[in-house]
Amino acid sequence: MNLHALAAARAADDRPVRVALIGAGKFGAMFLAQVPHVPGLEAAAIADLDPDRARATCRAVGWDEGRIARTRFHADGAAAIAEDVEVVIEATGAPEAGVVHALAAIEAGRHVVMVNVEADVLVGAALAERARAAGVVYSMAYGDQPALVCEMVDWARAAGFTVAAAGKGTKYLPDYHAVTPDGVWAHYGITPEAAAAAGMNPKMFNSFLDGTKSAIEAAAIANATGLAVPEGGLAFPPCGVDDLAHVLRPREVGGQLERDGMVEVVSSLERDGRPVFRDLRWGVYVVLKAPTPYAAACFSQYGLPTDPSGTYAAMYKPFHLIGLELSISALSAALRREPTGTTRAFAADVVAVAKRDLAAGEILDGEGGTTVWGRVTTAAASRAAGAVPIGLAHGVRLVRPVAAGSVVTQADVAPRSERSLAKRLRETLVPA
Question: Nearest to residue 134, comparing CAs of 159, 179, 102, 100?
Answer: 102
Question: What pairs with residue 113 in β-bridges?
Answer: 89, 139
CA–CA distance, 172 with 370 (Å, rounded to integer)? 18
3-state helix, strand, coil in the chain (%, to 5): 40, 20, 35
Q: Domain 3-143+323-336 class?
A: alpha beta
pLDDT of residue 394 exceeding 80, the answer is yes
Q: For residues 336 and 6, is the Cβ–Cβ distance under 8 A? A: yes
Question: Nearest to residue 28, comparing CAs of 5, 2, 49, 7?
Answer: 49
Q: For residues 408 and 387, is the Cβ–Cβ distance under 8 A? A: yes
CA–CA distance, 84 with 213 (Å, rounded to integer)? 33
The pLDDT score that the predictor gives to residue 194 is 86
The answer to whether domain 348-426 has CATH 3.30.43.10 is no
Render 210-239 in DSSP notation, one character per residue. SSHHHHHHHHHHHHHH--B--TT-----B-
pLDDT of residue 419 exceeding 90, the answer is no
Count of CB atoms situated within 10 Å of the CB of 353: 27
| E-only strand ranges, 75-200 | 87-90, 111-114, 138-140, 162-170
Count of CB atoms situated within 10 Å of the CB of 345: 18
Fold equal for 3-143+323-336 and 348-426 = no
pLDDT of residue 198 exceeding 80, the answer is no
CA–CA distance, 307 with 300 (Å, rounded to integer)? 10
What does each C-alpha distance from 214 to 58, 199, 427 come to in angstroms?
29, 23, 24
Q: Is the dihedral of CA 52, 391, 213, 354 positive or negative?
A: positive
- Domain parsing of the chain, residue ranges: 3-143+323-336, 146-172+211-319, 348-426
CA–CA distance, 105 with 111 (Å, rounded to integer)? 7
The residue-averaged pLDDT of 332-346 equals: 98
Helix (H, G, I), strand (E, B) or coil at 271: coil
Quickly state the pLDDT bin for 417 (edges 50, 70, 90): confident
Q: For residues 393 and 368, is the Cβ–Cβ distance under 8 A? A: no
Helix (H, G, I), strand (E, B) or coil at 407: strand
pLDDT per residue as tens digits for the range 203-260: 989 999 999 999 999 999 999 999 999 999 999 999 999 999 999 999 999 999 999 9
pLDDT of residue 181 exceeding 90, the answer is yes
Question: Nearest to residue 43, comparing CAs of 322, 320, 326?
Answer: 326
Q: What is the pTM of this model?
A: 0.96
CA–CA distance, 104 with 97 (Å, rounded to integer)? 11
pLDDT per residue as tens digits for the range 283-300: 999 999 999 999 999 999
**Strand bridging mode 111-114 / 138-140:** parallel
